[in-house]
Amino acid sequence: MSNTKNILMLPGDGIGPEVMNEVKKVIDWSNDKRDTGFKVEEDLVGGACYDAHKVAVTDETMEKAHAADAVLLGAVGGPQYDNDPDMPRNQRPEAGLLRLRKELDLFANLRPALVFDALIDSSSLKPELIRGLDIMIVRELTAGVYFGEPRGEELRDGVRYGLDTQVYNEHEIDRVARVAFELAKKRDNKVTSVEKANVMESGIFWRKIVKEVHDADYSDVELSNMYADNCAMQLVRWPGQFDVIVTDNLFGDLLSDCAAMLTGSLGMLPSASLGTKDPETGKIPSMYEPVHGSAPDIAGQGKANPLATLLSHSMMLRYSFDMIEDADMLDQAVQNVLARGLRTGDIMSDGMTEVSTSGMGDALIEELEKLN
Ligand code: NAD
The residues facing 9 across adjacent strands are: 42, 72
**pLDDT tens digits for 93-134?**
999 999 999 999 999 999 999 999 899 988 889 999 999 999
* Residues catalogued as catalytic: 146, 196, 229, 253, 257
Cα gap 94→85, rounded to integer Å: 16
- Distance from Cα 59 to the centre of ligand 1, integer Å: 26
pLDDT above 90 for 148: yes
Query: With bands split at pLDDT 50, 70 and 90, how would you rate the model's confidence at 330?
Result: very high
- Distance from Cα 77 to the centre of ligand 1, integer Å: 9
Give pLDDT, residue 1.
Answer: 47
Q: Lay out the sheet containing 5-12: strands in order across.
A: 38-42, 5-12, 70-75, 286-290, 270-274, 108-114, 134-140, 244-247, 190-195, 222-227
Residues whose beta carbon lies within 6 Å of some atom of ligand 1: 15, 75-78, 82, 97, 266-267, 289, 292-298, 304-305, 308, 344, 346
Mean pLDDT of the chain: 95
**Domains, the chain, with CATH or none:** 1-107+284-372 (3.40.718.10), 112-274 (3.40.718.10)
Give pLDDT, residue 21.
Answer: 98
Phi, then psi, of 105 in degrees rounded to 5:
55, 55
The dihedral over CA atoms of 120, 125, 126, 130, expressed in degrees to the nearest 10, equals -60
pLDDT above 80 for 304: yes
Lowest mean pLDDT among 200-204, 250-254, 277-281: 277-281
What pTM was computed for the model? Answer: 0.94
pLDDT above 80 for 264: no
% pLDDT > 70, the chain? 99
Q: What is the C-alpha R_g of the chain?
A: 21
Residues 117/131, Cβ–Cβ less than 8 Å:
yes
The DSSP-derived string for 188-221 is TSEEEEEE-TTT-HHHHHHHHHHHHHHHHH-TTS
Mean pLDDT calculated for residue range 159-165: 97
Pocket test for ligand 1, best of 10, 71, 292, 342 (most atoms within 8 A of CB): 292
Query: With bands split at pLDDT 50, 70 and 90, how would you rate the model's confidence at 83?
Result: confident
Give pLDDT, residue 122.
Answer: 83
